[in-house]
Amino acid sequence: MRHTLPTLTIALTLVVAGCAVHVDTKFVPTDELEKKADELLLQQVGSTPDSIDCPDPLPVRVDAEVRCVLTDGDQRIGLTVSVTELGEDDHHTLYVKVDDEPLPAGS
């Protein structure tokens, strides 16, 4: 059976289009993430550290997490910020867990 070029082109276009995957992951930018982590710490423990540094944005999907470092005085302590819940209209719930031990000096 002989196929014409336009027929093959249409068939290949449909196959390729059917295999395409669209990923629309949103992220919390690092500056916003640091601010939200600071606010959550204020709510949880009643104070905020001198600074929080989150080097990577946080994907907005349940169970996504990012490691950050808080600095308080001369101590640096790791913390994890995670997405626990997704709501409507791009609302999401974050959780902050501070490590039990400070980071080793120089890290």
Question: Is residue 68 included in any domain, yes or no?
Answer: yes
Work out the average pLDDT over 65-74.
96
The amino acid present at 20, given as its one-letter code, is A
Residue 104 domain-assigned (yes or no): no
pTM, to two decimals: 0.73
Among 6, 87, 64, 71, residue whose Cα is nearest residue 34:
71
Question: In this structure, is residue 15 part of a structural domain?
Answer: no
CA distance 71 to 101: 13
Query: Residue 88 domain-assigned?
Result: yes
Total tally of structural domains belonging to the chain: 1
Query: Is residue 38 a part of any domain in this protein?
Result: yes
pLDDT tens column, 17-42: 333 333 456 999 999 999 999 999 99
Q: Is the pLDDT of residue 102 over 90?
A: yes
